[in-house]
Structure formats: C-alpha cells, structure tokens
Structure 1
Amino acid sequence: MSDDKTAVEVPGMSTEGTLLALMGIEITEAAPERVVATMPVKGNVQPYGLLHGGASCVLAESLGSIGSALHAATYGKVAVGVDINATHHRAVREGVVTGVATPVYLGRTTTSYEVVITDERDKRVCTARITCQLIQAPPGA
C-alpha cells in the first residue's frame, strides 16, 4: 500500500457529474482486493452538524461497487448493488473520513465487501457491508 493520498483514476469510470464528485469523495486506491477513498465531513452532515449516516452509506456503496466492478470486468460482466447495511458507531463533526473496502466474497455471480470508515484519529465511525450481483454487460457498456 502506498502512502500517496492523491486521487487515482479507475479504468472505465468517470466521476464527473456524479454523486461522488458532489460529495467530495476521492478514490485513492482501487483494485478488486481493496478500494480506499476519502470524504470530507463538511457538506455531508445532517441538521445537527454530524456526518450524515446516508453519506457514510454512499461512501460504502461507492467503494464496494467499484471493487465489484473491477472484479466483474474479469468475467466480462458489470456489478449492480443489491444490498447494503451499515452500523454507525460514533459521530464525526469535522475533518475527513476514510473508507476501506475489502472483499468478503468474490464470486462469478455475486460479491460482498466489508467497508470500514474511520475518522482522522483512526477511530471506527461506521461498518458497512455491500453485496453486488454480477450481470452480463448491456450492449455498449
């Protein structure tokens, strides 16, 4: 793992005009075995000024979906999310959170990833699990 925190390009993926761009999510590492990204807390809060649980879910689903898509490509398939769950452990008011997705299962028809989101003190903020179905790529995809 590199300590370089600069954004990486994911083959076949553009973040322009996406929810990732709107939320300030930056992918710093991307492979089927591990996907890492950062997200600012500012702009992604609920009315009490705390990191919104939905923002954590967006980060988790994005990372699990990217890892699944990279894995699916080896079979000529695409990944679509079918399930996500998240447990929110602690509040965050400022700074940046980091999400790390690692596979629980990489199959030919489904994938599951665990996503751990931590704050700048490396304290666990959220634990999520996302499952994707791998389907045949539509024509032109």
Structure 2
Amino acid sequence: MNPNSLMKRMEIEILEASPERVVARMPVEGNTQPYGLLHGGASVVLAETLGSIGSALHAGPERIAVGLDINATHHRAARSGFVTGTATALSLGSTLASYEIVVTDDHDHRVCTCRITCLLRNAPPGAPRPGA
C-alpha cells in the first residue's frame, strides 16, 4: 500500500476482500468534523475505497478500475469507536462494476449507505497496478 495514500491516513483496515464483497473498518477519531461527529466525507472515502478495491479485484491484473459515480445517504451520526463498511457487488460486468456500501457503527446501526460505479478499462502501458 502506498504509505502516502488517503486510506493509510484515515487508518482504513481491510478485513475481507473479494470481487463480490469487501469489508473494512475505520476509526471515528481523527475522521471527524468540527462537532466531533464522523465526517460525512470520511464515510464516502471509506465507501469509495471498498468499491474501488472490489472493482479492481473483479477487473484483474491487466485492467484498472476508475470511479464514475458515487452517492451517499447519511442516516445517523457516529461519535466514537469504529465504523465498518461492507461493499456488496450489485453488478459485475466487463466494462462496469457497481457496489452498494453500508457503513455501520459499533452497535450495528446504519450510519451511511453509498453506491459506486466504476469503469473497468485496460491499464495504460507502464501504469502502476495494485499488488504489482
């Protein structure tokens, strides 16, 4: 993993990863807005990370996944502990991959629901690829 990545800075920890399902957790502390609540953008970063990882796994080593669209609905605040994101594949095609990501708090309450769609394309010559 790139030591300067946003994933590293936000302390996102991958717990499970396959093209069909990706699970990770992230601390609330350090990822808050001025009122001490989990920043909505942090939930979206978690969701985009999971959907992008799942899409890249589905795409395979010779292809890359590029985000096309992401949306989020914030349901409730998280104030402490960790949030867990679970990305579940909605559609895994040859050119697009879509995921629903549910972010929950330590009490299994839904904090946020996101949907991401990634374009799958051939990697440009010489482009760095995850895991390579």
TM-score (norm 2): 0.94
Q: What residue number does 1:10 align with? A: none
Instruction: Report the CA distance between 1:35 and its aligned residue.
Output: 0.3
Q: What residue number does 1:31 align with? A: 18
Q: What is the alpha-carbon distance in structure 2 between the residues aligned to residue 115 and residue 83 of structure 1?
A: 13
1:36-73, Cα deviation, whole Å (9 max, x unpaired): 00000000000111000000000000000000000001
Equivalent residue runs for 1:1-141 within 5 Å: 14-73=1-60, 76-141=62-127
AA paired with 1:22? R
Unaligned runs of 5+ in 1: 1-13
1:73-106, Cα deviation, whole Å (9 max, x unpaired): 17x3110001000000000110000000010000
Displacement over 6 Å in runs of 4+: none
Q: What is the alpha-carbon distance in structure 2 between the residues aligned to residue 109 and residue 70 of structure 1?
A: 13
Instruction: Report the CA distance between 1:140 and its aligned residue.
Output: 2.1
Instruction: Report the CA distance between 1:134 and its aligned residue.
Output: 0.4
Instruction: Report the CA distance between 1:32 and its aligned residue.
Output: 0.2
The Cα RMSD (Å) is 0.9
Q: What is the alpha-carbon distance in structure 1 between the residues aligned to residue 39 and residue 68 of structure 2?
A: 22
**Secondary structure, in 3 states, of the residue corresponding to 2:102?**
strand
Instruction: Report the CA distance between 1:15 and its aligned residue.
Output: 4.0
Q: What is the alpha-carbon distance in structure 2 between the residues aligned to residue 63 and residue 15 of structure 1?
A: 16
**Secondary structure, in 3 states, of the residue corresponding to 2:78?**
coil
TM-score (norm 1): 0.88
**Secondary structure, in 3 states, of the residue corresponding to 1:65?**
helix
**Secondary structure, in 3 states, of the residue corresponding to 1:98?**
strand
Unaligned runs of 5+ in 2: 128-132
